[in-house]
Amino acid sequence: MTNTALTGVIPPVCTPLTPSYEVDTGSLTRLVDHLVAGGVDALFLLGSTSEVAFLPDRHRKVVLDTVVGHVAGQVPVLAGVIDMTTPRVLDHVDTAVAAGVDAIVATAPFYARTHPAEIRAHFRAIAARAGRPLYAYDLPVSVHTKLGTDLVLDLAAEGVLAGVKDSSGDDGGLRAVILGRRERADIADFSVLTGSELTVDSALWMGASGVVPGLGNVDPHGYVRLVRAARAGDWAAARAEQERLFHLFELVTVGGTRMGGSSSALGAFKAALHLRGVIDHPTTAPPQIPLDEDETARVGKYLAAGGLI
What residues line the site for a copy of itself (CB under 8 A)? Answer: 21, 48, 53-57, 59, 82, 84-88, 90-91, 109-115, 117-119, 121-122, 125, 141-144, 169-172, 175-176, 179, 196, 198-199, 201-202, 205-206, 235, 239, 243, 246-247, 258-263, 285-289
Asked whether residue 212 is marked as a ligand-binding residue, the answer is yes
Choice among 137, 223, 270, 302 that is catalytic: 137
Q: Which is nearer to a copy of itself, 217 or 288 (CB)?
A: 288
Question: What distances in angstroms separate CA 26 from CA 31, 270, 273, 283, one per listed residue?
Answer: 9, 15, 14, 14
Instruction: Let me know if 165 is a catalytic residue.
Output: yes
- The nearest distance, CB 37 to a copy of itself, in angstroms, is 28
Q: In what order do the strands lie in the sheet with 134-138?
A: 8-9, 210-211, 191-194, 163-166, 134-138, 103-106, 77-80, 43-45
CA gap 24, 11 in Å, rounded = 19
- The nearest distance, CB 30 to a copy of itself, in angstroms, is 23
- The nearest distance, CB 71 to a copy of itself, in angstroms, is 25
- Taking only Cα atoms into account, the Rg of the chain, rounded to an integer number of angstroms, comes to 18
CA gap 148, 18 in Å, rounded = 40
What DSSP designation does 7 have? -
Q: Which is nearer to a copy of itself, 47 or 220 (CB)?
A: 47
Q: Are 287 and 263 in contact (CB under 8 A)?
A: no
Asked whether residue 149 is marked as a ligand-binding residue, the answer is no
Instruction: Let me know if 223 is a catalytic residue.
Output: no
Binding-site members for pyruvate are: 49, 212
Q: Which residues are catalytic?
A: 137, 165
